Each structure stands twice: as C-alpha cells, then as structure tokens.
Structure 1
Amino acid sequence: MIYSTVRIVATDGKEISVGTGFLVLRKISEDKGLLYIATNKHVVGDYQIGQFRFCATGKDGNPIDNQHIIVKINDLQQRCIYYPNDSVDLCFIDIMNEIEEARNAGHELFFRGITEELFINANLEQHMTAIEDVVMIGYPEGFCDEKNNKPVVRKGLTATSVDTDYNGKKEFMIDIACFHGSSGSPVFIETTGLGQKVNNESLTLGVKTSYCLAGIVHAMVIKNQNGDIKVKDVPTAKALYSETEIPLNLGYVIKAQRIRELMDIAFDQRNRTINTSNS
C-alpha cells in the first residue's frame, strides 16, 4: 500500500494544487495491464502540468528509497479520464507513456498497482460491522518522508456503515482528520483474525492482518466561525484553507465501486497497455 501512493503536484505556472493519488491496475494478460493514478477531479482542476515522484528500482528488483525519479506530464488534462457524473469527484491520470519512456531511458520506477482483487466487494461489505478500522495513506499538508519518498499513514474508524450508501450516494464517512493534501487518499479497511501457515508439514496459527481498498477521500466536514457546519472538497492549496474554519475530523469517501466503474470506462477507451511484469 505504501508504494501504491504518489504525491501529485499540479500547476498552471502560477497556482499550485497538491494532493494524493494512488496507482490502480487492471490486468489484461499475464504481463500486460492498464495502469492509472486515481485521484479527485478537484486535485487536477484545470491545470496542464502534473509532477509525480517515484522511487527507483535496484538491480535486485527492490526499491531504492532514497533514489528518486521525477515524472512530469505537460498535457495533464489530455491524460485525465473523468467519471462521467459530475457529482462524483473521481478521475484517472494516464501515466503509462511516461513509465515506458523512463524504462526505455534505463530508469525503472518502483511502484505497486492496486488490483481489483484488493477492492472491497459486495460480499465483504455485507460482513462489515458499523464500526471498522480504516487506514488512510496520503500527504496531509503535503507532508511526506522526503528522503525516502514515503507517504503519511493515518488510522481511524468508519463513521458510517460501509455497506450502506450515505445520504443515498456511493459514499461513507470516516473518523480521520483530513487536511490540505489529503484529497485522493486511498482508504483501506483493516481486519485482523487468525491465519494459518504450513511449514515443514506443521500447521501454525497466528494473528493475521489483511486490507482491502474501500474507497478514496474527496471531502471533509468543517465548522466556520459562525458555527455553521459545511461539507467541502479537501483543499489542495493552503491559501484556500481559512484559519476560521475548523475541521471536525470527518472525511467523505467515494466507494471503491466507483473506482471499478471508472476502470471499466478506461478499459473501453484504452489505446495502449503497459508491461506489468516488473510492477
């Protein structure tokens, strides 16, 4: 999960938008697939330039955390695939061409795409309780481990049930503080239970933690100086965040079902795939 996220810096040369994205992958064959960065529409806005930083891959196939490769897109809007319903704050960024260009130049990016097998499904949702542990990964206030290019991990609870649609939308709420830069952060359900391991014909039981992608953060709840409660997009620019607005540590999450639906749209529109044997 740590290597699936990327900090997004979008700009028009004057204003800067900082947010979070994460890589989603649909396998087409054993070594081919569609790879996109999932984020919010308001993160990319109308900006044309996007910048992303990845860790390099060593000769042993492992990440070199302190060696970074900058990927830049100069036609960001042309690379975006937007969810067709304007009310759904979700889009994909096509970065496949840049990854292939980096490989051809001898720079292998290290990343992990989240495949649909890791998405929550209807069967899992039905077994969720009203209170579940959740993990959010991203770059609040733009913070990250700059030297090792690592995001910030936060843990909280579901604030509404995952198996119901909050206010009739494919969304649920989480009890985690969301700040500038948290837009586009993936949210995972964390479950813990007994796991089995077979070693030399012996069976060992132990505690096992597993995760599934539940959705993507897009909005937060704030209270202004007059005491009014509002729901707003998580800010992507610090200048947009007023000191008189107090976050209530509640975030709105678009369900993973919407991400899967946008993946279907991207699949229908695809004009190239990427080699995923090293991803």
Structure 2
Amino acid sequence: MDGPVASIVLFAALLHATWNALVKAGPDKYLTTLLVACGAGLVSLPLLPFVAAPASASWPWLAASACCQVIYYRLLAAAYQHGDMSQAYPLMRGAAPLLVALASVPLLGERLHWRQDLAVVLICGGVLTLTILRGASAGADSAANRAARRRATLYALLNAAIIAAYTMIDAAGVRRSGAPAGYTMWLFVLTAALLLLCSGSRWGELPAYARTHARVALVGGGGTLASYGLALWAMTQAPVAAVAALRETAILFAAVIAAVFLGERLAPGRVLAISLIACGAIVMRLG
C-alpha cells in the first residue's frame, strides 16, 4: 500500500470515529443516529442515477443488510446512551472481526491461521481487561452507574454481532451486485427509509431536532458515506486485508476523540484494553 492510499484509509478511519463522536455528543442519541442515517441516505439518493444499479441477485442481500443496519443504529444509540465512547466503540469495532472469523469456521469451513489465533487472544484480553476494570471500580460507583455500564457493554457486544452479520451479508451481496458503488448507495438509502419507518412515535420529534442539529445530518451523514466509500475505493488500489486492517485504527482515533473532545477519562488500564483490542482487530484483518 503506497502512501496516498494509506493516508486515505486513515482519513476514512478518522471520519468513522468522528461521526460516532457526534452521536455520543448529541443530546438525544437516537435522534442523532437517525439524522446521521438520513443524512447519508439524502446524500446518496441524488447520486443513484449516475451509478450502475446492483444486479437483481444482490437485492435479497441488500435488503437483509439494510435490516441489520437499522438494528445497528438502534444499538449504537443505546450503547452511547449508557456508556462512554471509549468503552463502547472498541467493543463494537474490535469484537466484530473476531466474531466474523469465528463464524467463518463452522459456516464456511475455514480454518484460523495462527495470526488469527493471536488476534483472538488479544481481543479477548482487551475485552476482559475492560470488564475487570469495570468490576474493580464498581465499589466506588453508584448502583445506577454500574447498571449503566453493564447495559453499555451488553449493547456494544450485541452490536458487534450485528456488525459481523452485515459484514458477511455485504461481502456476499456486493460480489453478486456487479456494482459496488450502486450497492453502497442503495444500502444507505434503504437503511434511512427503514429507520424512519421504524421510528414510531419519535417521528414527530425529528423535524424540530433536525432544525437545531442540521450540521449533524450533513457532517455525520457525509462522514459515514465518505468513510465507507473511501475504504471501498482503497480496496481497489491495495490488498483488501491491508485496507481493512489499517481501517481498524478508527478504534485509536475514537479513544483520542473521546478524551480530547468529549472529556472522557482514559485511565492507564482502559488505554491498555483499547490498545489490545485495536491490535487484535488489525492482526485479525491481516490474518
């Protein structure tokens, strides 16, 4: 991977961490995720006539991925509602490649390389470290804080499973589409439409919230679309495994953003846990 491509992948990772920070910083986590998803859909919609349409064989996969994305956004909002970004983000992004690798053994008959075995140890060590740290600090916290952190961990790990699911779905769908750009644009449009349909009574709150947080829709929606699109483009210029591994630096970007801009405290133990998860995710992608 040459320098310019590596720089673009790092920028894509930064964009992903940034739009997650916007969700965490939003006063209403669910409505903020809704704005981000709708922003990505609105940016994608006018571009659809200019990209090739996905092949018909990919549409069932596209629909399944969009359903997973709806669950993903809901769990994302719930995780950030109850826990720190520096806790939830590493769990969501780091555990997902672990679950993909483990699921590929029984589902696809693949065997784990020794590097992937090492990655499993690193990621599990990081998750265990976060759990131990949570338990060690429990005595000084209120019962409400302890319960909130438990919920954040649960939502983050559930979301890791959803990320793993739509990763495997998209891997199959985009290969059948014959049009990666079109597949991506339609995915964002369908996700936004489904998320709006599933908003229930909160639908009425969105217009007023959007008026006061319009930049979230623009920056967050554009950020998530650009992050995914740039990573997709980079995979046409460099080995997929190398791009995917470098993109996992988003975990480290998220930790820095959480500390500098969100005011979250990164104790040495949490830094160690985040580093273990990030290194494990990178090694897993390279494996």
TM range (shorter): under 0.3
* Greater relative contact order (Cα < 8 A, sep 6+): 2
TM-score, normalisation: structure 1: 0.24
Larger strand percent? 1
Greater share of helix residues, 1 or 2? 2
Q: TM-score, normalising length from structure 2? A: 0.23
